[in-house]
Amino acid sequence: MVVELISVGTEILIGSIVNTNAAYLAEKCAALGLSCYHQSVVGDNRGRLEESVKVALNRSDIVILSGGLGPTEDDLTKDVVAQAMGLPMVEDAHSKERIQKYFDKIGAKDITSNNWRQAMIPEGSIVVDNHNGTAPGIIVEKDGKTAILLPGPPGEIRPMFERDIQVYLENLQELRFFSYMIKVTEIGESKAEMMIKDLIDKQTNPTIAPYAKIGEVHFRITTSAKNQEEATEIMRPTVEELFRRFGDKIFTTKEEETLEEVVVHLLEEKKYKIAAAESCTGGLFMGRLINVSGASNVVGESYITYSNEAKERLLGVSKETLEKHGAVSEETAMEMAIGAAKRAHADVGVGITGIAGPTGGTDEKPVGLIFIGCFIKGKTEVFRFQLRGNREKNRDNGVVKALTVLRQCLINGKE
Amino acid sequence: MVVELISVGTEILIGSIVNTNAAYLAEKCAALGLSCYHQSVVGDNRGRLEESVKVALNRSDIVILSGGLGPTEDDLTKDVVAQAMGLPMVEDAHSKERIQKYFDKIGAKDITSNNWRQAMIPEGSIVVDNHNGTAPGIIVEKDGKTAILLPGPPGEIRPMFERDIQVYLENLQELRFFSYMIKVTEIGESKAEMMIKDLIDKQTNPTIAPYAKIGEVHFRITTSAKNQEEATEIMRPTVEELFRRFGDKIFTTKEEETLEEVVVHLLEEKKYKIAAAESCTGGLFMGRLINVSGASNVVGESYITYSNEAKERLLGVSKETLEKHGAVSEETAMEMAIGAAKRAHADVGVGITGIAGPTGGTDEKPVGLIFIGCFIKGKTEVFRFQLRGNREKNRDNGVVKALTVLRQCLINGKE
């Protein structure tokens, strides 16, 4: 089936916000096996919105609209869809009650009459409760076409999609779609895609779609089948082939698992404590690790040592090393890693030092050069990378590289 | 004049990448005074792309297409635009030479014939050099309509737009547009918009457009005028009114300046060194400060103290304070700030402690509660915030709150 996305909101048209809803919905729809040929953005304008809805309903089976469901005059989506599909608007008692309850809960006294507009729906449509706001979602079915109207805020649309819309879309299709996620690190996007280009070129069922993230590439394998077992069988050869080609560069096959979660879990498994000494990344490495709930099991303290003095005083990096090899060197990264672990009484130490730019580069040590030292229970290893980006990108990439090499060191130590 | 954006690429349609180009171009076009009523995304499909281009050229004066200019068979944008506008494709000698030079520079030996497709252009069009890749930008003018074809990678499209396209678009219009940026912090998006709702409602010239960022709201004031002086005069009353209403909540009026840059410059001005003690933010506060090139003037070292033990041992927070008031308390935040400054021999110390969630909250101290202590040259102040988000959002917001209160303390100390 063919799905089409329409994002409603003048704030997207003037670039006031980035349209993350479209990317979110597009990926979800792809995973459900829906084909998407068009995405569009229209402002809060009745005529143009109606035109867009009509064109979309004409060429696609399902049209998902996000935004424009709120209580103000600007919020036109429901009215316009009802008109385009030839349906009158009626009041939905259930929605009215929910809105009343919502305002009671937050202790609002004067509910402006505008708010009741949110209880109006196109006749005969399905109301989808909004557990994170007042505007309900709405599904309108007519003449073999379906319009799905969802609220704009990401904090409302995502839980609503995952709780109710996903199941609805699954049931709408004769075939059921299943997907399998493989997340790869250590290999760049183009190289990773090249490594399986032959598979992608000849793909029919299952399909393989690459998703590039900073320092990671995710491959989603999707197939249609009667049930999970059949799907697993259909996908098995492809999954196995990807494992053969990427090996331990695959850090997870869990949809929601992040690289930092994998690292924290590896540390937890081994009952290791970790400390870092960060120079160019300046706290972002540990900041990301601590994004894992439960990081307190593996982190007690960590250090940002930006100046040479701090590297010496706090971590015990030797003056000689700093003078002879410089602050950005294999030797300093190593001593930082060891110093961090020692000072924090930790089992694992990570030292990160590099030239983030835009200044500070030389011919010998250009901008983007970064050294990462890993100390694990007495064993040390240092890694060197040459990154190519601006200051912000080099620092973000440095964090991913550090997570990646730390994971590799922790896995290798296992064997 | 009316502009329309078409993003070309199947990777956007399946949600593989977020369409940041559209937001970037939309904001730039808005600042140039161009009206944008439609944005769309189409895949690498000849028929659908041609249909989209025709519709767009029909209803808009200028169509900006991004993506699909590369060397592969999938890259159809130029061909399709030429066909839609009824122009033959011809080889551009200048582009051919530049591509040859590019490959010479990176030392490529075998240039596949595909690459020369990038030197083909619709007859009579203007070639815009790409200084960050091989595919040139192209401007096609015909029958009062203009199509602007830009490369997809953000690292290519942005410098090309700022270097050449912006000037071209300015010259295309009879009127010239000027804008003035006001960046506000400490006030939430809806409150900030409410504070100037009367101005926004009655706006004609200049216009005011709000742009919501994490913990910040940016207002872009735009007007058309003959020159900068006239524009400044037209915008003056609005600018002055916004200054009256937002006062020192305005942290900058410079287009490119960030909140962390403002803070670093305030510290530099006063010749202060800063250190932080971070618990829930776990390094993200200092990580963001160090994103400012030249942060080394104000930062030597900083601490992530996640465990109570670290708070005691590294910062000298008293056992009594931790036992009596808890790790997330005004008292602990204060002692962390003082301890960080002392330990680093810094003038300024910032202590951040909170409950990021999802676990660890109580009735008395719920998830999202955060305390920020500021120590500046012997003076201390503590701030309490109740944030409402998931773990990641609470941590990001905590960083912005810390930057905001630190800025406020540094400014107040000035008087």
- Whether B298 has its CB under 8 Å from any CB of chain A: the answer is no
pLDDT band at B304 (very low <50, low <70, confident <90, very high): very high
- What pLDDT, on the 0 to 100 scale, is given for residue A415? 42
Contacts of residue B400, defined as CB under 8 A and 6 or more positions apart, other chains included, come to: B185, B214, B215, B216, B259
Mean pLDDT over each residue of chain B, to the nearest integer: 92
Which of B4, B13, B214 to mutate to probe the A interface, most A CBs <10 Å? B13
pLDDT digits (tens, 9 = 90+) for A207-235: 898 887 888 999 989 898 888 999 999 99
More confident residue, B159 or A201: B159
pLDDT digits (tens, 9 = 90+) for B99-120: 888 888 777 777 777 788 888 9
- What pLDDT, on the 0 to 100 scale, is given for residue B176? 80
Count the residues in chain B. Answer: 415
What average pLDDT score do residues B285-290 get? 97
What average pLDDT score do residues B185-192 get? 84
φ/ψ bin of A77: left (φ > 0), alpha (ψ from -120 to 50), beta (otherwise):
alpha
Torsions phi, psi for B75 (to 5 deg): -85, 100
Torsions phi, psi for B19 (to 5 deg): -80, 75
pLDDT above 70: percentage of residues in chain A: 100
Task: Tell me how many helices (H) and strands (E) chain A has.
Answer: 16, 17
pLDDT above 90: percentage of residues in chain B: 73
Residue B408 has pLDDT above 60, yes or no: yes
pLDDT above 90: percentage of residues in chain A: 73
Q: How far is B31 from chain A (nearest CA, A)?
A: 9
Chain A to chain B, count of Cβ pairs less than 8 Å apart? 224
- Residue ranges and CATH numbers for the domains of chain B are 2-172 (3.40.980.10), 176-252 (3.30.70.2860), 259-414 (3.90.950.20)
CB contact under 8 A, A286 and B303: no
More confident residue, A269 or B255: A269
Respond yes or no on whether ipTM tops 0.90: no
CB-count burial class (<10 Å; 0-12, 13-18, 19+) for B87: middle
Please give the structure tokens belonging to residue B307.
Answer: 């465990």
Q: Which of A2-6, B96-100, B118-122 has the highest mean pLDDT?
A: A2-6
Torsion of CA A41, A45, A51, A54, to 10 degrees: 80
User: Within 13 Å, how many C-alpha atoms sit on residue B298's CB side?
Assistant: 25
pLDDT band at B182 (very low <50, low <70, confident <90, very high): very high
Q: Across the beta sheet with B369-376, what order do the strands follow?
A: A379-386, A369-376, A348-354, A274-278, A301-305, B301-305, B274-278, B348-354, B369-376, B379-386
What average pLDDT score do residues B276-285 get? 97
Residue B414 has pLDDT above 70, yes or no: no
More confident residue, A181 or B176: A181
Residue A412 has pLDDT above 90, yes or no: no
Residue A414 has pLDDT above 60, yes or no: no
DSSP codes, A327-344? SSSHHHHHHHHHHHHHHT
What average pLDDT score do residues A284-294 get? 95
- CA quadruple B199, B192, B286, B291: dihedral sign: negative
* CB-CB neighbors (< 8 A) of A282 in chain B: 283, 286-287, 289-291, 295, 299, 302
- A22 and B7 Cβ atoms separated by less than 8 Å: no
- What pLDDT, on the 0 to 100 scale, is given for residue B415? 42
What average pLDDT score do residues B23-37 get? 92
What average pLDDT score do residues B209-213 get? 82
CB contact under 8 A, B16 and A291: no
CB contact under 8 A, A284 and B282: no
pLDDT band at B53 (very low <50, low <70, confident <90, very high): very high
pLDDT digits (tens, 9 = 90+) for A46-70: 999 999 999 999 999 999 999 998 8
Which of B53, B197, B301, B387 to mutate to probe the A interface, most A CBs <10 Å? B301
